Structure 1
Amino acid sequence: MFNSLSGRFFLLTAVFVLLAEVLIFVPSIARFRSDFLMARVERAQIASLVLLADDMISTELERELLLNAGVYNVVLRRDSSRQLALASELPAPVSQTFDLRQPAWTALVRDAFRRLSKPEFEVVRVIGGPKLKAGSLIEVTLNTGPLRDAMWAFSQRILILSALLSVAAALLLFVATRFMIVTPIRRVIAQIENYQTAPEEAQRIIELKAGIVELRAAELALQSMQKNLTSALNHKERLAQLGEAVAKVSHDLRNILTTVQLISERLTQSEDPVVMRLAPKLEANVARAVTLAETTLSFGRASEPAPILGQVDLTSLLQDVVETELMAISQLQIEVRFEISENLIIRADREQLHRALSNLVRNARQALADQSQDGAIVLKAWQNPQFWLIDVVDNGPGLPEKAKAHLFKPFQGTATGGGSGLGLTIVQELMRGHGGSAEYLEVNGSGACFRLMLPKLTYDNAE
């Protein structure tokens, strides 16, 4: 029971109520003792009034008056004279004197607990002020036994009342907690468990029903998280289905491209000058398409294959990439410039780097295709002590904010209506395979800049 939230509320409430009763008990027991002694003083004063009617009373009457007052002696002081009104034999010497006329509260508390802790009786003197100004003071001597018994009886009543109040308050809080807090929490837990069984189903997302502000905020956050998770799961499922379809297409496409490759090899034997000039490029691009189809098949099973590193002449590679796009670029007013450090030899997988740069140059060309002004693509390459760096810069319209937020996510990073959104994802994965990265850099004015960073590792470029 006490491991539950409502059970702990029950326990804490009972403890706190008892603690509050203890704090109330301390001044209450001190007040009870003071009132008990003052009552004895008042009763003694009333008993002494008999002397006003008759100065001489019998011993039996005096004993009965003292017994009814619960005291041994009564002394009245009027003006400056001190008069022993009623007297009897003391069973023991007076051990203490208490003045109740202007007592300090700390002294009252201290004396009350001292009396509770002493089981043996004592004879004490109590000084108080007479009622109705019937003198300057009145003194009585009495036995502390009845006082201690009355104080213990009062303490027991307070204890029983405190226990009953604490249990009643705890039960009320227990019921209220279960109804107002525990039940809504259990409903949320049940909905979480229901969602857990099939998180891809949108109808299992939690509904907002809590009336408590904090719990409703928790439901709102949970609902948002579940919506995002369901959307992500459904998106991944669609990607998996698409990947399976692409793998099937790539399998058949590879077979077709193999046939085209054989034909292109026969074209190299032609004596036509135009065919002789274009056939090697056709053969190289068909071979690259076959490799891409085979890579796509392996991507469906795992990820991009590990790069096969070798020395790559970056100038030659960039020129090859541009020549591949030359036919499309020649139909547009696009200028291509190279800003490459002299004799820049890097260590990379030539085929994978060619694919990454082709994607970036193609994206730049497509961004410039729809603008009226002349476009330019600048290919920069240089090195620092840690990296080889390649920038592909264009002066096109740049990227919208929505595209920037999802640049390297599959099917989400495209800035054109006809794009697939896979190009930049492939570029990023290829760069990570090299231990490097691809990033987008802001350009002053219009345009876009993508940077490839390839680590030098332990390779010495001077070799």
Structure 2
Amino acid sequence: MEIRVNNQHGAARQAAAIQAIKAVRKAVLSMPGKLLGLSIGFVMLAEILIFFPSAANYRSDWLIERTDDAYLASLAVETADEMGLGDEMIANLLTSADAVIVGRVYDGMNVPLLARPGGIGAAPVREVMLAEENLFERIFNTIGVFLAPEGRYLLIIDEPMAGDVGLVSVVVPEAGLKADLLEYSGRVLWLSIFIAMMTGGLIYLCLMFMFVRPMRKLAQAMTQFQQDPGNPACTVALSRRSDEIGEAESALAAMQDEVRTAFRQRERLAALGGAVARINHDLRNVLTSAQLISDRLATNADDRVAAMGARLVRAVDRGIRLCEDTLQYGRSEERPPELQPVWLRAALDDAAGDAFAATGAADWRNEIDELMQVQADPDHLHRIFLNLFRNALQAMEKSDAPLIQVRARLSREGEHVLVEVCDSGPGVPDRIAETLFEPFGRTGSKGGSGLGLSIVRELARVMGGDVYLKTRSEPGAVFEVRLPAMGG
């Protein structure tokens, strides 16, 4: 029983430790945690960059101080007899200077004046000329102190602070400099950590209140709006800031209002569409009955009645087609395109053949190279040009043009190819061109529903292209179809 209780306590402690680790990891990987870590890291990086010049200056000061002490010791040696200095006093001067050998430089010759008993033996010696070192050499030599082998000595040659007294040479153990530099580095390290924590914390708090919290509110507002876009309570609260965050808040609030307006319009249009579909269904039934009667009138023996019956048949047919187009447009949603390489010339020939078979023959001129390929959906591409060719034929049939001609030509623009469909008809009037690509817009055909070109543009855009009316005046209209080229 006791073993089971201990196991339960151990499992509970392990679960608590795992939860604590997850919480710490979540805090570290969160935006505030990353911000705090980056702030401290950048401050520490700045401290590291400052440390090496500071350590180099500390080394230089340390060596200059030893040079000055050695100069005093050399003066004491030179005036020992006059001042009555004994050997013990001179030894104390050497000890205070941490020197093993002290000398003076005369005419380029280093003349030792004083040395401790035993000297330095066969230990390695590194010569240091402080006056000839630049900043980078001082930094490099400072790093070399930390990596120096045990027992190495430094031969310092420099002019003391006393002025024009010549050069002084002093041999000191490098271990003292290394120990003092390590102690100095430790002080700088703890001071740097303290400064980094304080500075990083202050930067973190400033950025947290100035940027992170407002951005978090924006993110929460966007998430709430995504979950319930119709709820007015999900509108972002404006802070009246004049910076980029204030602009983002204003833009988000404007977008939310536009989306809600679009949703309300969509609901109204959906309700209206349902009503139109019901009316359309009943109207189609009425027109079907009228079509039966008009067919019988068109076959009447009386020529006047037959003529009126024929006109009535055409009118009823247009009404039925309009009802069918409206219902189809309201139900249809174009499938996503399946893009693949398509031979453009062959596709246009195929669409032109279908259009001519259904509407009437024309002088067809395909000026596109046989090797030209585009990235498109074959079915979408066929529907686009079939509609354009049918419109061109219908426009030319009602014109007085002596030649019914449809022509396709090609140009290149960056990663797209531009296919121009030209006809020899009367062109497109300005009043029609304004709403040419809008659903149920004005058309040049009395029986047209105004949906063909809107569907053409929709099909082109889902494939990464577009359709424009390039030229609207006589001797004909020019429609430009933009399509992605292969290998663009």
Q: Tell me what 2:181 maps to.
A: 151
Partner of 1:328: none
Secondary structure of the structure 2 residue equivalent to 1:102: helix
Alignment of 1:184-195 (within 5 A): 184-195=214-225
Distance across 2 between alignment mates of 1:357 and 1:432: 17
Distance 1:211 1:27 in 2: 43
- Of 42, 51, 63, which aligns to 2:91? 63
Unaligned runs of 5+ in 2: 1-26, 335-350, 365-381, 410-419, 460-465, 482-488
Distance 1:79 1:57, change over 3 A: farther
2:438 equivalent among 405, 409, 431: 409
**Which residue does the alignment assign to 2:370?**
none
Alignment of 1:232-271 (within 5 A): 232-265=262-295, 267-268=297-298
Structure 1 residue 426, shift from structure 2 partner: 4.6
Show structure 1 runs of 5+ residues with no match.
316-339, 362-375, 416-421, 454-463
Q: Distance in 1 between matches of 2:476 and 2:262?
A: 29
Q: Kindly report which structure 2 residues correspond to 1:66-85, keeping only aligned pairs within 5 A, or say none.
A: 66-76=94-104
1:428·1:438 contact (CA, 8 Å) conserved in 2? no
8 Å CA contact 1:44–1:74 kept in 2: the answer is: yes
Report the CA distance between 1:150 and its aligned residue: 0.8
Match of 1:322 in 2: none
Check the 8 A contact 1:208/1:216 in 2, yes or no.
yes
Shift of 1:295: 5.4
Preserved contact between residue 64 and residue 160 of structure 2 (Cα < 8 Å): no
Cα deviations across residues 27-71 of structure 1 (Å, max 9, x unaligned)? 322222221122122223334555647444333333333323322
Change (3 A) 1:227 1:381: farther
Residue 155 of structure 2: aligned partner: 125
Match of 1:366 in 2: none
CA distance in structure 2 between the partners assigned to 1:84 and 1:212 by the alignment: 75
Matched ranges for 1:146-225 at <5 A? 146-199=176-229, 204=234, 206=236, 209=239, 211=241, 213-219=243-249, 222=252, 225=255
Call closer, same or farther: CA 1:136–1:393 in 2, change over 3 Å. Answer: same
Q: Distance in 1 between matches of 2:477 and 2:199?
A: 70
**SS in structure 1 of the partner of residue 205 of structure 2:** helix
1:194–1:294 Cα change, 3 Å: same
- Tell me the SS of whatever aligns to 1:22: helix
1:117/1:357 CA distance change after superposition, 3 Å: closer
Which of 17, 33, 36 aligns to 2:59? It is 33
CA distance in 2, matches of 1:80, 1:287: 119
Identity %: 26
2:469/2:480 contact within 8 Å kept:
no
SS at match of 1:189: helix
Superposed, 1:435-454 pairs within 5 Å as 440=469, 442-444=471-473
The Cα of 1:428 is off from its aligned counterpart by: 4.5
Where do residues 82-101 of structure 1 align in structure 2 (5 Å cutoff)? 86-93=114-121, 95-96=124-125, 98-100=127-129
Q: In the alignment, which residue of structure 1 is the partner of 2:451?
A: 425
1:191 maps to a residue whose letter is A
Corresponding residue for residue 325 of structure 1: none
Question: TM-score by structure 2 length?
Answer: 0.63
Report the TM-score, using the length of structure 1 for normalisation: 0.66
Task: Judge conservation of contact 1:126–1:139 (CA < 8 Å) in 2.
Answer: yes
| Distance verdict in 2 for CA 1:57–1:100, change over 3 Å | same
SS of 2:405's equivalent in the other structure is strand
Larger radius of gyration: 1
CA distance 1:258–1:60, shift in 2 (3 Å): closer
For 1:215 and 1:252, the matched residues in 2 are separated by 55
Q: 1:227 to 1:378 in 2, by over 3 A?
A: farther
Matching residue of 2:426: 393
Offset at residue 158 of structure 1 (A): 1.7
Distance 1:389 1:95 in 2: 94
Show the 5 A alignment for 1:287-436. Answer: 287-290=317-320, 292-293=322-323, 296-297=326-327, 299-302=329-332, 314=359, 341=362, 381-384=404-407, 393=426, 398-399=430-431, 404=434, 407-410=436-439, 413=441, 423-426=449-452, 428-429=454-455
Answering whether residue 137 of structure 2 is matched by residue 104 of structure 1, we say no
Q: Deviations over 1:135-156 (max 9, x none)?
A: 3233333333322211111111
Distance in 1 between the 2:478 and 2:210 partners?
A: 56
Call closer, same or farther: CA 1:201–1:424 in 2, change over 3 Å: farther
Deviation per residue, 1:309-355 (Å, 9 max, x gap): 7985746xxxxxxxxxxxxxxxxxxxxxxxx8599xxxx99xx99xx
CA 1:431–1:123 in 2, change beyond 3 Å: closer, same or farther? closer
Q: 1:137 aligned to 2:137?
A: no
Instruction: Confirm or deny: 8 A CA contact 1:431 1:452 kept in the other structure.
Output: no
Q: Given the superposition, is the C-alpha separation of residues 226 and 390 from structure 1 closer, same or farther in structure 2, using an over 3 Å criterion? A: farther
Question: Which residue is 1:42 aligned to?
Answer: 68
